[in-house]
């Protein structure tokens, strides 16, 4: 799938020739990274085609924002698109072994279990991201939130604390504001989540 990083264009965010990727300790040339801030705001993502319904294509594993303009869809051709012997340059360095253990509070466990039952399975990926380290980073979307830290994972917010080599996940919240939840009919799961765990 080819698409446009439309928010970058609309908000005139621009780009820089060197960026700090989440898996690097030093800045890299923008063309050696997958930074969304590029001279040409075109992105590419591999998606799974689940169904064709008339002129509508249903895909999953999409890593783009709602309302992102899609430019084109192309088939994945294994003999042409896969190069097992190819090298990834600086990305060939293996990810560091998880240095942090992850602990889920009873509330966070209940929330992720509820989400999984409603078609939103986020627990494993959240744990993987935080096990690499909870330090704030521009691309990992970790920020301070009072006396805790907050990871922005897709449209969810994960509140956690760090004690030595332990990450304690306290709770999850929707990333949408109340006004957005009230006006957007596509956010049923978020509305139900807030109603169950954060009732007025």
- What would the mean pLDDT of 33-52 be, rounded to a whole number? 90
- Position 33 scores a pLDDT of 87
- For residues 102 and 148, what is the distance between their CA atoms, to the nearest angstrom? 15
- pLDDT tens per residue, range 52-107: 999 999 988 888 888 899 999 999 888 888 888 888 887 776 555 557 899 999 99
- What would the mean pLDDT of 3-25 be, rounded to a whole number? 86
pLDDT band at 197, cuts 50/70/90? very high
pTM (2 decimals)? 0.57
Helix axes 123-131, 106-117, angle to 10 degrees: 130
- What would the mean pLDDT of 96-122 be, rounded to a whole number? 90
- pLDDT tens per residue, range 136-187: 665 668 888 999 999 998 899 999 999 888 999 999 999 999 999 998 888 9
- Position 137 scores a pLDDT of 62
- Position 193 scores a pLDDT of 97
From residue 94, give the alpha-carbon distance in Å to each of 18, 90, 91, 97. 22, 10, 8, 9
- For residues 157 and 147, what is the distance between their CA atoms, to the nearest angstrom? 15
- For residues 197 and 178, what is the distance between their CA atoms, to the nearest angstrom? 14
Sign of CA dihedral 104, 107, 113, 118: negative
pLDDT band at 114, cuts 50/70/90? very high
- Position 74 scores a pLDDT of 92
Q: Where are the alpha helices (DSSP H) in 33-163?
A: 78-81, 106-117, 123-131
Q: Check residues 132 and 176 and name the one with the higher pLDDT.
A: 176
End-to-end Cα, the chain, rounded Å: 40
- For residues 112 and 72, what is the distance between their CA atoms, to the nearest angstrom? 34
């Amino acid at each position: 799938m080819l698409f446009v990083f439309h928010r970058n264009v609309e908000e005139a965010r621009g780009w820089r020739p060197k960026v700090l990727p989440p898996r690097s300790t030093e800045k890299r040339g923008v063309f050696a990274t997958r930074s969304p801030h590029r001279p040409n705001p075109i992105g590419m993502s591999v998606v799974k085609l689940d169904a064709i319904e008339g002129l509508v294509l249903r895909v999953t594993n999409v890593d783009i924002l709602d309302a992102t303009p899609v430019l084109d869809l192309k088939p994945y051709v294994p003999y042409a698109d896969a190069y097992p012997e190819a090298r990834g340059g600086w990305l060939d360095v293996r990810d560091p072994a998880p240095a942090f253990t992850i602990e889920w509070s009873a509330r966070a466990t209940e929330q992720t279990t509820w989400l999984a039952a409603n078609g939103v399975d986020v627990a494993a990926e959240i744990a993987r991201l935080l096990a690499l380290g909870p330090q704030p980073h521009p691309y990992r979307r970790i920020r301070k939130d009072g006396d805790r830290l907050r990871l922005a994972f897709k449209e969810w917010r994960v509140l956690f604390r760090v004690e030595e080599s332990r990450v304690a996940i306290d709770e999850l919240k929707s990333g949408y504001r109340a006004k957005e939840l009230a006006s957007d009919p596509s956010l049923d799961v978020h509305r139900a989540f807030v109603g169950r765990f954060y009732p007025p």
